[in-house]
Structure 1
Amino acid sequence: MAGGEAAPLLTPGSTPARTRWSAIIAVSVAFFMLFLAFNSLQNYATSLLPGSLGSESLSVLYVSVCVFVFTAPHIAKRLGEKRTMVLGSVSYLIYMGSTIHPIRAIVLIAAVIIGFGAAILWVSVGSYITKASHPSELGRTNGMFWGIFQASGIVGNLFAYFIFEHLDGSASLFLALTAAGGVGVLILFFIPSEKTTIGTREGDDEANEGPEPSVNDVAPATPAEHLTVWQEVQKVFDILLTNRLLALGYLIIFTGLEMAFRSGEFPQLLPQKSIGMVLAFAGLGEVVGALGLSSLSDRVGCTALLWLASLTHAASMVLAIMLKNSGLPGPGPEWLGVSWIAYMASFGFGLSDALFNTQCYALIGKMFAPEHAVRAFTGFQLFQNIGSAGGYYLGVPLPMHGDKGSLGQVWIQLFLLVTGTLLYTWADLRYGRRPPTTPDVRHEIDGASLDPHPTNTSSST
């Protein structure tokens, strides 16, 4: 824009609400199809790919996300959100396609490619939905997106369960899932560009009629930042080194570790034919946690729901240990060839995962002002993917399944869970109750050299 002014969230225009909501629904359905395929494949990869290739490739995937996440904002600005989403989603097809007839080197290279794609995909979809939403609709639009997206965990696993026994081996299953993911990519090709979806809702002009705002009511324009990739990396690390985000680091790393355990190690405690049905209960837990319980944090506080998540995860882990020690199919009663405790553990893992993630997001949103939020959430992605990479790797030297299985992963999770829960509680009490836009809080965060143009340029010795 002229004069170096930052572009507003919504520009005055006449984009009909129907157009913008249709775009958001289309993106939601595209992600539903893409992750219906990928998450189901991820759950089966450690069990069906030869040797430890499944765990190794998923570990490589999340390590590469940690590397590429810093470049994602730069790429999204260059290509635009729609093109970036298409590029990122194609990388998922490359990885899924490599598992149909797995060759070790190709699968590992594809894991690096999808790591790059995942990093840019999630940055661009958040920006796209924000641009397509009026500020008063952000809660509804994001809630709808996440609700539709999380439902993929239910449908995808049920899909895999019902077709698995009718397919000729894992190659046919992975081919079917790759085709389903291709539908999601195809939908993204036809969504409107972000430029089309920017605009005000129909009727906004009438709703906003009133006295002319005074000069004091108008926020001053701020210069747009034009940063290199390296400068952006430095700013993210400045945020990472604040006490606010470091306090959440243990819990965020744990969320990656528990996700890897739930989708990588836990399925190996189950009969192959029952994996899809059991993990569908994890998807159900995700939906209940995200849509049914997470909103309660506005009334009871983030810490209360975080403790609920911690206790639920601990109880689910106890059930998983019982399943391991008793051997298949596990203590009765049974349903579809596996003990009831497998379904209860899976539901608990999904419920706690949803609460862990939503409450971390909520507290970060409380602790950081809007101008710092993007970098804070980039730090969240870095910590979480470090945990995911470590979780999949731990499945190789410290497997829980099998005759030589141990509880090594359980003890590591327990340490991070207890430490992370206590530090989260401290951070909420210390930082979560103060508005992040007050001058003292801004000074505290900006003291980490976040401002590339400091106003005080005097030197001191």
Structure 2
Amino acid sequence: YFPRGIRTFNVVILGVGFLFIFTAFTTCGNVEQTVVKSLGNSTFTGSGYHSLGIIYGVFSFSNLLAPMIVTVIGPKFTMFLSGLLYSGYIAMFIVPSTWSFYLTSVLIGIGAAMLWTAQGQFLVENSEASTINRNTGMFWALLQCSMLFGNLYIYFDWNGRTEIPDNSRRNIFLSLLVISILGTLSFLVLRKSHHEEEMLSEEEGQSLLSTQTILQLLKTKTTLLLSPCMAYSGLELSFYSGVYGTCIGATAQFAEAAKGLIGISGIVVGIGEIVGGGLFGLLCKNSRFRRTSVVFLGMVAHFVAFYLIFLNIPDDAPIVFETTSLKKPYLTPRYPVFMII
């Protein structure tokens, strides 16, 4: 029982660490383009869109090398190091400069690959066949809550503002930095279980071969067929995590409520992820529903969401900050519609 208790403890701490780090990072991603465009510093020329593009581009390529790094220094310290890179990116917004903005974007892309590779290995090491579903569910439940808390802060601080002053920006990112550091430090509390020690020699051999295995998998029929779906999921993630909130904040028809609605939108996205994950998980257990059916339900939901966005968001909302110059959308934007989206 005691080793199992250690493993459950590790899974909970792992989830809490990711909850804190991604409370900071997802909130940062949701508002960063709005923050960047509101900077009064004429020497800063960075773009939040470019930053997110760098992060996920470097993330993609770094996944080929991450398994070797995890093998050398272990998943616990890999996650700790990655958390420091996430914290560095968030700290940059306190005193922003263009060069540090893009440098930390590269570093966090590398850190993301190491973090998620280490997380997967650590979760498996602390699970058995009888507990893997429970442990995965516990971890994802904690992770999905990360969309709620930071965005709630954004709503209360930005509601009624038409511009984001420097002192407000500094306070927000100082708070997010503290949260991220707490999540990073929590990884140091993780303990080595007896089950994990037994698996180390086998896992090390598998990890050293994983880069070669990845390259082989890229050539298989299944991976080639799945690639368009994977590419689409990346486009969709980048849209709702970085572009959609910016569009809401730049919609003139919301006037002074626009900036606060960025936070509310992020909260509702988080609720949608939690409810959707639970609902689709239950559907998958029903023998009448296959995974293909769940994918089709998601596709229909996306068709509805993107068509409503097309009708309700001004064409230039993603790129224009001065709300007085925005074009008019086809329909008059209303709060409930944006929350449904």
TM range (shorter): 0.7 to 0.9
How much does 1:160 deviate?
A: 2.3
CA distance in 1, matches of 2:340, 2:271: 11
How do 1:324-335 residues align onto structure 2 when only pairs under 5 Å count? 324-325=313-314, 327=328, 331=332, 334=334
Of residues 78-87 and 262-271 in structure 1, the stretch that sits farther from structure 2 once superposed is 262-271
CA distance in 2, matches of 1:178, 1:115: 18
How much does 1:289 deviate?
A: 1.5
* TM-score, length of structure 2 as denominator length: 0.82
Deviations 1:216-235 (A, max 9, x none): xxxxxx9984786xx64443
Is the contact between residue 67 and residue 211 of structure 2 (CA under 8 Å) also seen in structure 1? no
Whether 1:27 and 2:10 are equivalent positions in the alignment is no
Deviations 1:104-138 (A, max 9, x none): 11110101111111001101111111111122110
CA distance in 2, matches of 1:40, 1:224: 35
Whether 1:114 and 2:108 are equivalent positions in the alignment is yes
Q: Higher helix proportion, which one?
A: 2
- 2:239 maps to 261
Tell me the matched-pair count. Answer: 303
CA distance in 2, matches of 1:183, 1:196: 27
- 1:440 maps to none
Cα distance change on mapping 1:175 and 1:196 into 2, 3 Å: farther
Is the contact between residue 34 and residue 185 of structure 1 (CA under 8 Å) also seen in structure 2? yes
Is the contact between residue 125 and residue 196 of structure 2 (CA under 8 Å) also seen in structure 1? yes
- 2:337 maps to 341
- 2:222 maps to 244
Specify which of 276, 288, 291 is matched with residue 302 of structure 1: 291
CA distance in 2, matches of 1:311, 1:262: 16
How much does 1:93 deviate?
A: 0.4
Cα distance change on mapping 1:104 and 1:52 into 2, 3 Å: closer
- 2:133 maps to 139
How much does 1:199 deviate?
A: 8.0
Deviations 1:396-445 (A, max 9, x none): xxxxxxxxxxxxxxxxxxxxxxxxxxxxxxxxxxxxxxxxxxxxxxxxxx
Specify which of 139, 155, 161 is matched with residue 155 of structure 2: 161
Cα distance change on mapping 1:285 and 1:224 into 2, 3 Å: closer
Higher relative contact order (CA 8 A, sep 6+): 2
Whether 1:85 and 2:79 are equivalent positions in the alignment is yes
Whether 1:44 and 2:31 are equivalent positions in the alignment is yes
CA distance in 1, matches of 2:214, 2:279: 33
Among the aligned pairs, what percent are the same residue?
25
Deviations 1:289-312 (A, max 9, x none): 112223422431111010110110
How much does 1:321 deviate?
A: 1.5
CA distance in 1, matches of 2:112, 2:203: 30
Structure 1, unpaired ranges of 5+: 1-13, 201-221, 346-461
Of residues 307-316 and 48-57 in structure 1, the stretch that sits farther from structure 2 once superposed is 48-57
Greater Rg, structure 1 or structure 2?
Answer: 1
CA distance in 1, matches of 2:223, 2:332: 42
CA distance in 2, matches of 1:232, 1:17: 28
- 1:47 is aligned with what amino acid? T
RMSD: 2.5
Is the contact between residue 269 and residue 323 of structure 1 (CA under 8 Å) also seen in structure 2? no
- 1:107 is aligned with what amino acid? F
Cα distance change on mapping 1:139 and 1:331 into 2, 3 Å: same
